[in-house]
DNA sequence: CTGAAAGCGCTAACAG
DNA sequence: CTGTTAGCGCTTTCAG
């Protein structure tokens, strides 16, 4: 039981009483309105500071029908890409004194849908999201859009939706990754990926297929390994089985956590990277450079993607940005390291 | 401009009109109150679904003076420990339909203080936090506690504060790490750490010192290297300089991002781990096992710490937990890998 | 320049 | 069982 409880809660009425003014004047003075005299403003500010006045966030939000709050909905948080993106988002909202509610779908469509339904409550002014990998039906998203809440998607976007989107050039990145492996001498390249609908997964797969096709290799799907989207040992088993069966000499892993699984699988089978199999992974992990061996990565501009997403969202919120929704494609970067050395 | 805007906003008044009932009845029916007839409840529920009614979060929070929202304040997000802890927190708040506001201090006392001041606005019912490394004055925290908002600290706690705290046994962990290195044959162990006040840093330092003292080694502070708490190349330089000057044969790194800096520093100086220098780091990075060489870690129970913190917070919020504030110490685990092999 | 009054949408006494 | 009423604390006309 703490002291100084509810009893001494100071609100505008308290200030008004203290200064013999009306709450209307207090309100205007605090918002630095033009039609309040400088002296009154001084007095109000002083009293507010002295009495430790803090405006009630919900009263203000209710009245203004806006909350200075946005939601961030992502599949996972223990993932370098997403946590770096959050940093980018935070870098633009913090200076504006906006607040961020964070929600994790754990890649579940049901959770995602219920989160979006809830957001129609006026809780947030806008939303930045990356869809769950098993989200196919997008009606929950459209319903929220219809309430007028702007949504900006990043990385995992829905193709059938009209909205602002920030993505990387996944097709090209996968194409580049595959080409990089081919140039390193690989003849039999596998794609280690996860199941799901987001376009980034299919784009990465298409890029991979195209690179093989352009080099006269017809894969017949044998080179595609589908893992679960959880960081579990199960994936190590799936990858090992594939390595044993198909004996690929090159692997492209499409999401961050598959790097560890792939390395462990190779290790358990005593396959040497890059001698027996070369590996490249889409990941933003900072430890890539000190892995055994250092891992060639497709590095996404996670921080800047988050930053851009937030900036576009604020453009919408402020009414500054009125053009049609756009898809912004930001370049990823292949960082070559020992895991793909010839 | 999306269709179906504000105009058709449906609130309790709409439902009341629709069904020829009062808003009081609607409110009670929706909350499944005992004194509403089953049939009325049915009608209300049906109408709510049909008209897509979503209760206004802020009106409700304002009226009830509680928001079903908590704040999470942490130094960084792109850090495995913190992101895993958030997962733990989320695992308990999501089923309770609570919301989480997330704030990053970037280890700045000023930002932290302004965040805590703001939370007196009634925006959240409770707070889970890990203090900034340069927070020394804790008056901003005490002030918030006085408003009656329960705060639970985890990992980076303040010693001079009365509050619920979830920590790991940092002293013992560091002692264990140092002992582990001594047993592996190290004679000259350095502690690579960051500057700051949180007790975990001093506990880790004390544990290190005690282990050396217990083994007849007097360090005279020469073995302590202080880095910046940013993930920058600067730290690689600082560590390299120390390695050159002091030639330690063992290193304990106290925070996650120093693992990468330490490995890079050794690499640049062509020092072999573990042959020339053995390394152990406090980190939760999942890639520890696939580093070159695999890294011996002090693994903190991050997920469970977050979970416990949230559970204790809910205990306070519900009034279920009324005993004096407690400090819960959870064990870390030394996971020995090749980086400390003899 | 300042104040009175209405109301954002919801909840909780209290009556009936 | 249902309705009336009075606010939660703030902002915003509109008068003066």
Same domain, A220 and A248: yes
Q: In 3-state terms, what secondary structure has residue A213?
A: helix
Number of domains composing chain B? 3
> Cα separation of A173 and A280, whole Å?
11
Same domain, A142 and A41: no
Does A22 map to a domain?
A: yes
Q: What was the pLDDT predicted at B1?
A: 31
Same domain, A186 and A283: yes
CB-CB neighbors (< 8 A) of B84 in chain A: 78
Same domain, B95 and B135: yes
> Cα separation of B52 and B43, whole Å?
14
Residue ranges for chain B with pLDDT beneath 70: 1-8, 219-220
Provide the CATH number for the domain around residue A19.
1.10.260.40
Are A309 and A318 in contact, with CB atoms under 8 Å apart? no
Provide the CATH number for the domain around residue A108.
3.40.50.2300
pLDDT average, residue stretch A50-56 = 92
Same domain, A196 and A286: yes
Q: What was the pLDDT predicted at B6?
A: 39
Q: What was the pLDDT predicted at B37?
A: 85
Same domain, A162 and A311: yes
Does A226 map to a domain?
A: yes
Give residue-wise pLDDT tens across range A188-221.
999 999 998 788 899 999 999 999 999 988 867 7
- Please provide the average confidence, as pLDDT, over all residues in chain A: 92
Q: What was the pLDDT predicted at B8?
A: 63
CB-CB neighbors (< 8 A) of A263 in chain B: 290
Same domain, A112 and A176: no
Does B7 map to a domain?
A: no
Q: How far is the CA of A26 from the C1' of C2 (A)?
A: 10
Quote the distance between the C-alpha of residue B124 and its chain's center.
17
Same domain, A26 and A68: no
Same domain, A42 and A88: no
Give me A187's structure tokens.
Answer: 């003849």
Q: What was the pLDDT predicted at B124?
A: 97
Q: What was the pLDDT predicted at A3?
A: 32
Give residue-wise pLDDT tens across range B214-260.
998 886 677 899 999 888 889 999 999 999 999 999 999 999 999 99
pLDDT average, residue stretch A317-326 = 91
Does B77 map to a domain?
A: yes
Chain B 242-281 residues in 7 Å CB range of strand C: none
What nucleotide is nearest A27 when CA is compared to C1'?
D11
Q: Pairing between strand A296-299 and A333-335?
A: antiparallel
Q: What was the pLDDT predicted at A8?
A: 64
Give residue-wise pLDDT tens across range A2-34.
333 334 689 999 999 889 998 999 999 998 888
Give residue-wise pLDDT tens across range A87-112.
999 999 999 999 999 999 999 999 99
The answer to whether B65 CB is within 7 Å of strand D is: yes
Q: What percent of chain A has pLDDT over 90?
A: 81
Does A5 map to a domain?
A: no
Peptide bond preceding B268 in cis form (omega within 30 of 0): no
Does B108 map to a domain?
A: yes
Quote the distance between the C-alpha of residue B73 and its chain's center.
7
DSSP string for residues in A8-52:
G---HHHHHHHHT--HHHHHHHHTT-TTS-HHHHHHHHHHHHHTT
Same domain, A204 and A139: no
- Please provide the average confidence, as pLDDT, over all residues in chain B: 92
Same domain, A90 and A144: yes
Same domain, B147 and B174: no
Q: What percent of chain A has pLDDT over 70?
A: 97
Q: What was the pLDDT predicted at A269?
A: 96
Q: What was the pLDDT predicted at A66?
A: 92
Does B3 map to a domain?
A: no
Containing structural domain, residue B223: 170-300+334-340
Does A2 map to a domain?
A: no
Q: What was the pLDDT predicted at B159?
A: 87
pTM of the full structure: 0.94
Chain B 161-180 residues in 7 Å CB range of strand D: none
> Could you identify the residue whose CA is nearest to the C1' atom of nucleotide C13?
B24
Size of interface A-B (CB pairs under 8 A): 156
> Cα separation of A30 and B340, whole Å?
60
């Amino acid at each position: 039981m703490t002291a100084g409880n509810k009893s001494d809660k100071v609100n505008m009425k308290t200030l008004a009483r203290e200064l013999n003014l009306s709450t209307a004047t207090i309100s205007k003075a605090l918002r630095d309105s033009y039609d309040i005299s400088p002296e009154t403003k001084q007095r109000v500010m002083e009293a507010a500071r002295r009495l430790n006045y803090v405006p009630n966030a919900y009263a203000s939000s209710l009245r203004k029908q806006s909350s200075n709050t946005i939601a961030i909905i992502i599949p996972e948080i223990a993932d370098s890409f997403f946590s770096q993106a959050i940093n980018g988002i935070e870098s633009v909202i913090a200076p504006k004194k906006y607040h961020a509610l964070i929600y994790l779908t754990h890649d579940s469509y049901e959770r995602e849908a219920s989160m979006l339904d809830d957001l129609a409550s006026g809780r947030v002014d806008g939303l930045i999201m990356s869809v769950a990998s098993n989200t196919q039906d997008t009606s929950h998203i459209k319903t929220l859009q219809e309430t007028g809440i702007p949504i900006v998607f990043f990385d995992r976007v829905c193709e059938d939706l009209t909205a602002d989107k920030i993505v990387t050039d996944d097709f090209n990145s996968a194409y580049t990754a595959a080409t990089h492996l081919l140039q390193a001498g690989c003849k039999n390249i596998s794609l280690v990926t996860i199941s799901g609908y987001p376009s980034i997964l299919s784009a990465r797969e298409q890029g991979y297929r195209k690179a093989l096709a352009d080099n006269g290799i017809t894969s017949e799907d044998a080179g595609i390994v589908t893992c679960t989207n959880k960081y579990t040992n199960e994936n190590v088993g799936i990858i090992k089985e594939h390595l044993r069966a198909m004996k690929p000499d090159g692997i492209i892993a499409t999401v961050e956590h598959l790097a560890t699984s792939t390395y462990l699988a190779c290790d358990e089978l005593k396959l040497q990277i890059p001698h027996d199999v070369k590996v490249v992974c889409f990941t933003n992990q900072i430890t890539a450079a000190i892995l055994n061996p250092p891992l060639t990565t497709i590095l996404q501009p996670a921080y800047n993607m988050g930053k851009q997403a937030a900036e576009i969202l604020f453009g919408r919120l402020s009414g500054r940005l009125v053009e049609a929704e756009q898809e912004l494609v930001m370049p990823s970067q292949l960082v070559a390291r020992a895991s793909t050395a010839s």
